[in-house]
Structure 1
């Protein structure tokens, strides 16, 4: 991880000197460059703080060997890019890495207590120390951000002068010297004292985190985007920023989109066509496709024309049909629908080549043992590949509660690629019996319980949206909440029974009017990936024991009776009977940030035991 390069100096002959080696500021794993320390996030390295730079010039300085291209046509089409790139590796021999910029620029010296811009301390080149005291400078603990994704320095000058009105005048800001100290009385904001040499009374940071704190100062967001550099102008923004801790998770939330590689795209044969799909999609006849291939590859194409026609047909099957508008949500649902169809149909290993990255087979055992539980059609996914791409990021709000207009871009200019990671693993896919599920979800008590979750989730999405009239409907339906909670209890059970860390298992839900399935899979880049242990859990006899055990375990929580009788829980009431002692998972495992959960839909409640879909298991 490196800061942006300095300007090149010219030597005596007038030719540009070779670029200096950029200082290394730390290292992160490739997966962290997508999920934790992606573009626009803040990262602490030793006693310094940086913001990860945008991707405008990354295509040139990311080394092709350390940051190879990866292809997943279905996801690339969804995100309107040609390909993806792995973030550069951060090894000792790495030529380059992800660029960073110093942020926040406001620092304080623990010895002289002065609070000013980093460069005003006159630190030696390459160091972050006070030029007078030679003490390590401390980056500001506080930053401000708005829901449009902008990020800025905390306005200390305006904050300390708020009672006198002398923070900024027509003659400019106050010329006094700011100081920051701690009273040492407590660890609260009241103990952080800001003062100015101009003589105004010193003030504490207490109250700076109030929602209206900066609005009361008359401050509006300036639209600054420090991750894009100083040459990119600020955007116009009239939102009121909020004060945040520099290390708060609210400062940066990734918008991740993922897809499974499924036939006919899962054998890698279509990868050479990645840069030519925009032209190929415009063609309809085989002759036109053949001519386009000859022109694109200057001779014989690596993919036969007949195969390209099959790929084009498969791609068009995911186009929205009828009067549906081709929105991002519709395209994403079509992508999930096609995965669901393939998971149900399977893809037998002996019929495929070694390059095949999706192997899905029926278990050898009799699936009839699962019928009394209301579970049907288990499939053993012996081999899968998932590509997760960083589309954008948000601040202050979870990605699920925002619209595309609230997502901050990774670059100032449009890109033809996005950073992504590919992971390989295995999994178990199961479906719920459609007839029994339909009967259960039509129960008035079930519908009323889920409606409380749906209403709370819809309200949060509307509150956080810039345009409440364009908020999509909440995905909370009886079958979705049931499948979501079932996937969580299965992950917890397998983490105990099969030895997998819960954080290495993930869920992928398929829940709408035509789908009722869940895929639990390992998709990690470490040793908990594809070892065969999870697939073994999908055999019907073992799966039946797992479901019974997990449901019985979910029937009791150490927080009961408070948990099972809870009228509201989670963020804004988006959960009911769900807590960290029973069904919640590590955030890496859950598709919905641990919301839209209710174990009462699995096991029932003390007042209504038959509310649960699996209540028969507990009655025996």
Structure 2
């Protein structure tokens, strides 16, 4: 099959039109091959050691790009036509043949009508493979009385037609495939049932459209016919990292100090005996920690090993870097990570219930983010992961599609002790445990963060703030993104939110967001965000609900109050609950007293 070239934005080569994705361009349906097809001479390498440490050995590369009109030798990505089967809008003829006219590919039928891609493709349920529906084979098969000997052995490959019947309405009953040679006709209603393709003996080829069938591995999973543009056809797995000076987390710094202490070897030698207990108290007093922490480090259980989830490992380093910046005040360091930090101090006009829990804010004046595509899945989030580079493995490093962006943002740090006290409330824990239970029952959801009370509350607050910032920052809400630092069950507890915007341009963004991080603007903005969320247009149904969203992974949260663009949210608009922020009949919200205090202040 001849490759086809069309223009895309550079950022779209990672998402949503990265490796393995179907893209509609100018009436044609195309699919992106893996990075082994890239011309590496025109794919510049991107540097981000933090990201590669989590992805594994490999190379981050930006897709080949150009400015202006594409010519024959212009650096570009290759896209393959998929599905290959098309039908004529004018005469209904179905074929997968492509012709040329004066050296150019044409998308026209012999009758002059435009050729349109078929609506349905076949996707493997578990193997993440995708292929054309073999329309000629499917039309001439089935278990009804119409499959005669003439139909079974029909060879009229050019007589297939896609027909519509106005008498049968607008649904699938009105659409059918017909062979004008043998008279066989089959409605598309018979195609979309769960085991339809398996009953007709149509098997998964175990490959992707751009890979030769001879290279495919046998696949025993069933195929299902789905609409070509269905979102489940492509579930990208991306990973992003901020380009920051990697700061060791506090637990790692403490472990290093303990191990370097002159008496540390005595604890190890005594191996939990009375001398170890006594010496651990000496070291703990000197370093400002607890004897239990010193003994845990000596036992090798300090928890500073590599985490099984790459994103959590990345966030640990980012959290430490932000904390250091917040303590430094005005940042005059320059570079690609510039953050001005200021402490939140009480003011008579500000609600104390907010300033007690929000301890510091960072105005992120400049930041660099690198986003990479790790791979993709099809049909369901628990299907097999297909790597972004499917080339041979002999001694070569895989290439990950990546893009670097520069931008600005606002970082909020919350008081750890206040959060711990709030999380210990039984009603708060019971509310969050509803989502914890549903996450454990949903295999694909286990790749998301654990919905601890602090995570759900800060995640929901982030969404409320994004919706409010869209009115004041000059950026659309889809241009704003979040990064939630909210984990209590790690060596270094985190409690913060980063809301940022980034663009794929060396000059970054224009400052419309970072200026709102100033104290006089941010606190009123937070109060306004809480006030808007206090009453949802879908109340009382929304606020009283505990089962909303995909797989019921939201509680009191809907499009009227909390949801934002899925490209803005780390968790795809899941694990949200207004009650854990604002409170409810049976639960105290993290910021549940703020609005009452504001109204009392007048």
Stretches of structure 1 lacking an aligned partner (at least 5 in a row): 6-22, 266-320, 465-470
Q: 2:560 aligns with which of 573, 576, 581?
A: 581
1: CA distance between counterparts of 2:571 and 2:301? 29
Q: Residues 502 and 259 from structure 1, CA distance in 2 versus in 1: closer, same or farther, beyond 3 angstroms?
A: same
* Alignment of 1:27 onto 2:3: no
Give the C-alpha shift of residue 365 in structure 1: 6.7
CA contact (8 A) 2:36 2:399 kept: no
2: CA distance between counterparts of 1:379 and 1:233? 52
Give the C-alpha shift of residue 340 in structure 1: 0.4
1: CA distance between counterparts of 2:416 and 2:84? 58
Find the residue that maps to 2:367 and give its secondary structure. Answer: strand
Q: Residues 77 and 139 from structure 1, CA distance in 2 versus in 1: closer, same or farther, beyond 3 angstroms?
A: same
How does 1:526-537 map onto structure 2 within 5 Å?
Answer: 530-537=509-516
Q: 1:484 aligns with which of 446, 456, 459?
A: 459
1:361 equivalent in structure 2 = 340
Give the C-alpha shift of residue 118 in structure 1: 2.1
1:383 equivalent in structure 2 = 366
How does 1:41-56 map onto structure 2 within 5 Å?
Answer: 41-56=21-36
How does 1:421-570 map onto structure 2 within 5 Å?
Answer: 421-461=403-443, 475-513=450-488, 514-525=493-504, 530-570=509-549
1: CA distance between counterparts of 2:343 and 2:431? 38
2: CA distance between counterparts of 1:488 and 1:593? 11
CA contact (8 A) 2:123 2:131 kept: yes
Task: Give CA deviations for 1:303-352 in whole Å, capped at 9, x if unaligned.
Answer: xxxxxxxxxxxxxxxxxx85979777344322210100111110769876
2:143 equivalent in structure 1 = 163
1: CA distance between counterparts of 2:93 and 2:188? 16
2: CA distance between counterparts of 1:231 and 1:222? 7
Find the residue that maps to 1:332 and give its secondary structure. Answer: helix
Q: 1:143 aligns with which of 121, 129, 139?
A: 121
TM-score normalised by length of structure 1: 0.77
Task: Give CA deviations for 1:120-155 in whole Å, capped at 9, x if unaligned.
Answer: x78885333455313222211111112422111113
Give the C-alpha shift of residue 525 in structure 1: 3.2
Find the residue that maps to 1:259 and give its secondary structure. Answer: strand
Q: 1:615 aligns with which of 582, 592, 601?
A: 592
| Root mean square deviation, CA, Å | 3.2
Higher mean alpha-carbon deviation, 544-553 vs 365-374, is at 365-374
Give the C-alpha shift of residue 174 in structure 1: 4.3
> Which structure has the larger Rg?
2
CA contact (8 A) 2:543 2:556 kept: yes
CA contact (8 A) 1:349 1:359 kept: no
Higher mean alpha-carbon deviation, 87-96 vs 337-346, is at 87-96
* Alignment of 1:217 onto 2:192: no
How does 1:77-476 map onto structure 2 within 5 Å?
Answer: 77-92=53-68, 95-119=74-98, 126-130=104-108, 132-146=110-124, 147-160=126-139, 161-164=141-144, 174-176=154-156, 177-184=159-166, 185-197=168-180, 199=182, 201-227=184-210, 229-230=211-212, 233-263=215-245, 322=301, 329-346=308-325, 354=334, 356-363=335-342, 366=345, 372-373=353-354, 374-398=357-381, 402=382, 405-414=384-393, 415-461=397-443, 475-476=450-451
Give the C-alpha shift of residue 542 in structure 1: 2.5
Length, aligned pairs only: 524
Find the residue that maps to 2:538 and give its secondary structure. Answer: coil
Q: Residues 124 and 223 from structure 1, CA distance in 2 versus in 1: closer, same or farther, beyond 3 angstroms?
A: farther
TM-score normalised by length of structure 2: 0.79
Give the C-alpha shift of residue 391 in structure 1: 1.1
Stretches of structure 2 lacking an aligned partner (at least 5 in a row): 248-299, 598-602
1: CA distance between counterparts of 2:525 and 2:308? 34
Give the C-alpha shift of residue 371 in structure 1: 5.6
1: CA distance between counterparts of 2:468 and 2:28? 41
1: CA distance between counterparts of 2:213 and 2:220? 21
